[in-house]
Amino acid sequence: MCLKTPVNKTSDLASFTAQNTAFLARSDLTPRVCNVCLNSEKVPHNWKGFFLYFGNVLVKQGRSETAKIVYQQAKLSPTYASYPCKNILERNIENADARAKGFGNPDVGQQPQMTNVSGAQCMMCHQTR
């Protein structure tokens, strides 16, 4: 949505990263677009949280390869080093294949816990410290 272009379903890491890097370098964005797409005072980790959330949804769908490309985009944020949910993101990258497989289990009780409904569900974007 921020890029105003559909996400290519066969996107590779290099081209998606280049698109997002170019977006972050733009200086012509309106405040409205900045509020929704970038980090702000109210949402200090919006960029990272968005890609963490998006990757989690893809893993839930079993699409771990695409999820890994999406998760990597969080790292483009200039404040990634201080991201409080960095450990979750990195663990989810590492475990993407296993988690995607786990979500395929017909016994819902045996499926992995969804990050998007854990304590991180709001804090992945809104945590201030």
What torsion, rounded to 10 degrees, do the Cα atoms 57, 62, 66, 71 define? 40
Q: How far is the CB of 52 from ligand HEC (least distance, A)?
A: 8
Residue type, 90: E
d(CA 56, CA 52): 6
Residue among 50, 68, 99, 115 that touches ligand HEC (CB under 6 A): 50
Tokens of 120: 């991180």
Q: Which of residues 51-80 bind ligand HEC (CB under 6 A)?
A: 53
Start-to-end C-alpha separation, the chain: 28
Based on the shown chain and the rule CB under 6 A, indicate whether residue 127 belongs to the binding site for ligand HEC.
no
Based on the shown chain and the rule CB under 6 A, indicate whether residue 35 belongs to the binding site for ligand HEC.
yes
Residues near ligand HEC (CB under 6 A) are 35-36, 42-43, 46, 49-50, 53, 121-122, 124-126
